[in-house]
Amino acid sequence: MEILVLAEHRRGELREISLEMLSKAKEIADKTSGEITAVLLGQGVKDFADTLANYANKVLLIEDPKLENFNAEAYQKVLSALIKERNPAMVMIGHTAFGMDLAPALAVELDLPLATDCMDLEIDGDSVFAIRQVYSGKVNVKVSFSGAKKCMVTMRASACQIAEDMKLGGAIETVDSPLTEDIDYKIFSGYEEAAAGEVDITQADILVGVGRGIGDPDNIPMIEELAEAIGGVVSCSRPVVDKKWLPKDRQVGTSGKTVKPKLYLAVGISGAFQHLAGMNGSDLIVAINKDPKAPIFAAAQYGIVADLFKVVPALKDKINELKGA
């Protein structure tokens, strides 16, 4: 069986999700005597093909100025032509901002069953099962494709480990772009960086991360006081930014910043996967949360299960006391 993996790149960089997916594809290929085909669409991306060739049995390279920047509509046209021709057993796409825009419409066009945001894939005989998280990450679901022989999956970023160089030495095959005209109904017009704030949280040695548990913007100063006492900077999880309680440049996580401080003190953060992916490289993680089942405790080395409104002021006082001693 052929496993077709769509490589992803952005602004001149091959994105890690590409190798994560190819590594997962190799596991499946080993169990099914399958072949891995990486598909690379873009313009001036030949270098990426060389990298991908180590992780795939074959690399299909389609270069076209119309594919220079990601455009789900253009990608869909190219991929649907390619998939119809090759008829792979599995199509693997990243559950990224690009993949989320592309995969569902492509699946409908090709009449393929689709499971998105997969953490893992299991193989049992001829059947593929997708493992996903549902209900705030508290529950896992095992999904099948109702007996279909072919399927499409999108894989969650950072969910699969990148294998050591797989040395597959795949051949790079250049394919002509099937795009004949410009897509004029959906046009990429540029990138925009999030505005830089007064502090760069990626440079801080100590971060006090605050989450939804803070409950009200009026409680943010309490966190700032703790951060000041401990000599750190305040960062936050997504809900705090969504509610405009702190600016976007303080957000840690896949859609915010990746941080690796010496200490990450998570306060009132439940620990959604997307947040953990942005901070699990920290040297020491300490979590304060009232829910003993919060996933943050699985990422932390130390935890306190308690009401943050009681612990945080006490901690601030203790730190000031010890500093003064």
Site for another protein in 255-314 (CB under 8 A): 255-258, 262-263, 270, 284-287, 291, 293, 295, 297-307, 310-311, 314
**Which positions from 75 through 114 interact with another protein, judged by CB under 8 A?**
96-98, 100-105, 107-109, 112-114
> Which of positions 48-67 make contact with another protein (CB under 8 A)?
none
The label of the residue with tokens 């499971």 reads 115
Diameter over CA atoms, the chain: 74
Element holding 40 (H helix, E strand): strand 35-42
Copy the structure tokens of residue 112.
Answer: 């393929």
Q: Which residues pair with 133 in a beta bridge?
A: 140
DSSP SS3 for 108: helix
Out of 81, 143, 172, 222, name the contact with another protein by CB under 8 A.
Answer: 143
- Shortest spacing between CB 174 and another protein, in angstroms: 27
Q: What end-to-end distance do the CA atoms of the chain give, in Å? A: 68
* H-only helix segments in 111-152: none
Restricted to residues 222-241, the positions that interact with another protein (CB under 8 A) are 229-232, 238-239, 241
Q: Does 321 bind another protein (CB under 8 A)?
A: yes
Nearest CB to another protein, comparing residues 56 and 112: 112
Asked if 251 interacts with another protein (CB under 8 A), we say: yes
Measured between alpha carbons, how far is 246 from 236 in angstroms, rounded to an integer? Answer: 8
Which of the stretches 29-37, 40-48, 53-61, 115-123 binds another protein when contact is defined by CB under 8 A? 115-123
Cα-based angle 142, 148, 150 (whole degrees, multiple of 5): 95
The yes or no reply on residue 141 touching another protein (CB under 8 A) is yes
Q: Which is nearer to another protein, 168 or 204 (CB)?
A: 204
Q: Which of 164, 184, 198, 218 binds another protein (CB under 8 A)?
A: 184
Of the pair 28, 130, the CB lying nearest another protein is at 130
Q: Of residues 192, 198, 216, 218, which one binds another protein by CB under 8 A? A: 192
Assess contact for 37 and 174: CB atoms under 8 A: no
CA-based nearest residue to 22, from 145, 168, 152: 168
- Whether the Cβ atoms of residue 113 and residue 144 lie closer than 8 Å to each other: no
Task: Report the site for another protein in 11-50 (rule: CB under 8 A).
Answer: none
| Total residues in contact with another protein, by rule CB under 8 A | 104
| Cβ burial 167-201 (10 Å sphere, 16+ → b, else e) | ebebebeebebebeeebeeeeeeeeeeeeeeeeeb
Confirm or reject binding of residue 161 to another protein (CB under 8 A): no
Closest separation between CB of residue 318 and another protein, Å?
Answer: 4
Q: How far is the CB of 173 from another protein (least distance, A)?
A: 29
Nearer to another protein, 31 or 310 (CB): 310
